[in-house]
Structure 1
Amino acid sequence: MYLRIYLAAAVAAVTLAACQDDDSGATETARKLTYYGADLSYVNQIEEHGGVYKDDGQQQSPYAIFKNHGTNLVRLRLWHNPAWTKEIYGADGTKMYSDLKDVEASIRRAREQGMEVLLDFHYSDTWADPAAQDVPAAWANITELDVLKDSVYNYTFKTLRYLDGQGLMPELVQIGNETNCGILFTDAPAGFPTCNVCEGKWAETGAVINRAIDAVRDATDASSTKTKVILHIADPKNVKWFFDNLTTTGGVTDFEIIGFSYYPLWHTTITPDKLSETIAGFKTAYSKDVMILETAYPWTMETNDSYTNLFGSDPILPGYSYTRQGLEKLLTDMAQEVHDGGGLGMIYWEPAYISSNMKDAGGTGSSWENCAFFDFSGNAIPAIDYMQQ
């Protein structure tokens, strides 16, 4: 329910000031973004290993819960051949996760709820981020840039054409994940044509990214869905350096959206109240839409399993306590900032990553349950309602 402000200006000002003075509730200002998103990549794995989601005490599909609370975009990561996600369970492993089959099932679940989809190509068999952009094992023997470009094109094109054939073409596609230093350059064998812009390889990186974008355009030519392309950087402080170089030396201009990760406890150069001017600056500089593709914040410092949480002892942001109300207020304020800066939307990273018997490379359970939109009994918490304030 979007707030409708019909009160006299003086009354509205008093109400707004009261809401901003503490973290007891959402900031009372009207705003609506195009996209309120949730990265739900872990959901299938969690549910298949004992995780249960509830709303008002009633067990429900997490996709339905998110839809009912205002989510209209689901983000899903895609790994090339994540065999390790099956092998980590040993003899009990029955399937891979975040491969094409798993992603297909997730897109169907999103579609059943009428939500759009952002498909995040990592171009790796595992996590891609600023520190790691591992080369897929299937591409390890490539030694020529033209062959790598063809491999990236064919993989991207075939993936999207397959999904389109199933009626599941995503509305948005990411070419790489947190590509601060480029793509396809860590754990690379000798002779591999790496694309590391931190070593000056802007032309090579741009050539590979452009072929991935070509694949998106070609795949959508015969589709009723005209998928938009996003490029993704971690930390807004890196956006200008990356896109200044990529759009000139790298020759990459055919994309619609600049996306960045913004975890305010980690990305401290820009405070939440500076997001609007930051986003507006990016829009002006590059004439592109802008989105926050990942964000999160703890609502408690307690834990629910033996898996060490990624946020565990960080000092709080001033004005945003580690409480359910503090998280809700931060997200509401951030959404207002994104709106005021002309941003397209924002996505919360893995808000359904609750404790279960799920395993990953770091442990069993969740390293994120204190940042999820569910309490330790699986019930949705008020932060999930920030999309409807």
Structure 2
Amino acid sequence: MKRFKYMILTASALLCGAFFTACDDNDDKPVFPESPDKEYDMSGFVRGADVSWLTEMEKKSYKFYDAEGNSQECMSLLRDLGMNAIRLRVWVNPEQGWSAEEGFFNPEGWCNKEDVVTKAWRAHNLGYRIMIDFHYSDIWADPGRQEKPAAWADLSFEELQKAVADHTTDVLSAIKARGIDVEWVQVGNETRSGMLKPDGAASSGNTANFAKLVTSGYDAVKTIYPKAKVIVHIDQGNNPNRYIWLFDGLKADGGKWDVIGMSLYPNPDSEDWRQMNNDCIENMKNLIARYQTPVMMCELGINWNYTEAEDFFTDFMTKAKQVDQCLGVFSWEPQSYGGWKGYHKGLFDDSGKPTSAFNAFKR
């Protein structure tokens, strides 16, 4: 059993450069709890949090509070609330990630290699297990958008495969150079329709190029972290048809993966979350049997102020733990609050305090 004893880290580098992108004149530093004798169980079923927005939120002076209203550094607070794993997304050149329809611009480079290493180092020093989520884009990659990075736009398909491998190797090598272990790596994010379109588009009966790109990422991961589990991740975990055609195609075309990753975001105003949970759990069982590989819920969320939010998370966590070869559950950006980036599916209320939904991650 992996246990982590909390230690107060006094090295100045931990607060200047290691915990932050850069030191500045801001005296408002996060507060670390002084509990040197407290132990945390970081083993077993994954109870995870994707906190990729964290450094940007801190730069914008967002603070995080425990239930009593005491200000606390976010990752240490999440650990106190039951989390044992951290997930971090990577964009290739996010400074170039412009989206006219969404007005997205990221001149600070949040979620680039350097920012990811900063957050991974923080998580590592708190004893967290770590997942790295490669989007292979300068901007969000999801079912509706799988855009090539600007620097890769004119590459041939063979060059594109090499770019995937080189980028994966570069980022993971930078993380490993800090002595940080990585337990899971996603090669692509919500790649239901493929990735790096149009070259890597996937459709029913045509996943050959997608499989080659996935394999390029897979092989690069294993070169740096041979024991890391590689995840292929798609959305709508309650919809088995989305999974079967894609993974049947990947298998037939020689694509490699170790774990099947899922997302699930019920809309309680129009969807029955209980049925969605049951359908997702059943899908997990069937996928495990069909492909003989584990599954993981990589993104789970529901509106923080939904009256049954705690019930939703508790129901899903309880059922997922009963599935042999379900490795665990990650909540997506639980630290988000106050309408940050228009996202309302975190686990904090609008005052920056944790909601009761965290109880599901303590059980």
TM-score interval (norm. to shorter)? 0.7 to 0.9
Match among 54, 65, 79 for residue 43 of structure 1? 54
* Paired position in structure 2 for 1:181: 193
Per the alignment, do residues 85 and 149 of structure 1 end up closer, same or farther by CA in structure 2, a change over 3 Å counting? closer
Once the two structures are superposed, residues 314-341 of structure 1 have per-residue CA deviations (whole angstroms, 9 ceiling, x without a partner) of xxxxxxxx22xx1111101101121222
* Paired position in structure 2 for 1:334: 316
Match among 282, 286, 293 for residue 288 of structure 1? 293
CA distance in 2, matches of 1:299, 1:126: 25
Q: Which has the larger radius of gyration?
A: 1
Contact 1:73 1:116 in 2 (8 A): yes
Amino acid at match of 1:366: K
CA distance in 2, matches of 1:261, 1:268: 16
Match among 220, 223, 234 for residue 218 of structure 1? 223
TM-score (norm 2): 0.80
1:239 paired to 2:263? no
Q: Please state how far the C-alpha of 1:355 moved relative to its aligned partner.
A: 2.8
Once the two structures are superposed, residues 349-383 of structure 1 have per-residue CA deviations (whole angstroms, 9 ceiling, x without a partner) of 11111238xxxxxxxx43124x2221111111111
Match among 101, 110, 127 for residue 114 of structure 1? 127
* Paired position in structure 2 for 1:29: none
Per the alignment, do residues 171 and 267 of structure 1 end up closer, same or farther by CA in structure 2, a change over 3 Å counting? farther
CA distance in 2, matches of 1:230, 1:255: 6
3-state secondary structure, aligned to 1:119: strand
CA distance in 2, matches of 1:336, 1:180: 27
Match among 347, 368, 371 for residue 343 of structure 2? 368
* Paired position in structure 1 for 2:266: 264
3-state secondary structure, aligned to 1:185: coil
Structure 2 regions of 5+ residues with no counterpart? 1-42
Per the alignment, do residues 107 and 77 of structure 1 end up closer, same or farther by CA in structure 2, a change over 3 Å counting? same
Amino acid at match of 1:285: R
Contact 2:211 2:254 in 1 (8 A): yes
Q: Please state how far the C-alpha of 1:95 moved relative to its aligned partner.
A: 2.6
Contact 1:86 1:96 in 2 (8 A): no
CA distance in 2, matches of 1:272, 1:292: 11
Q: Please state how far the C-alpha of 1:167 moved relative to its aligned partner.
A: 1.2
**Higher-RCO chain (CA-CA 8 Å, sequence separation at least 6):** 1
* Paired position in structure 1 for 2:209: 204
Q: Please state how far the C-alpha of 1:140 moved relative to its aligned partner.
A: 1.0
Once the two structures are superposed, residues 58-111 of structure 1 have per-residue CA deviations (whole angstroms, 9 ceiling, x without a partner) of 0001101110111111111100000057999x9xx8731010111111111111
Contact 1:275 1:338 in 2 (8 A): no
Q: Please state how far the C-alpha of 1:299 moved relative to its aligned partner.
A: 3.2
Identity of aligned residues (%): 30
Aligned residue-pair number = 310
3-state secondary structure, aligned to 1:366: helix
Amino acid at match of 2:169: F
CA distance in 2, matches of 1:176, 1:268: 29
Q: Please state how far the C-alpha of 1:272 moved relative to its aligned partner.
A: 1.4
CA distance in 2, matches of 1:199, 1:340: 32
TM-score (norm 1): 0.75
3-state secondary structure, aligned to 1:212: helix
Q: Please state how far the C-alpha of 1:161 moved relative to its aligned partner.
A: 1.6
Per the alignment, do residues 86 and 96 of structure 1 end up closer, same or farther by CA in structure 2, a change over 3 Å counting? farther
1:74-85 to structure 2, matched below 5 A, reads: 74-83=86-95
Q: Which runs of 4+ in 1 moved over 3 A?
A: 84-88, 266-270
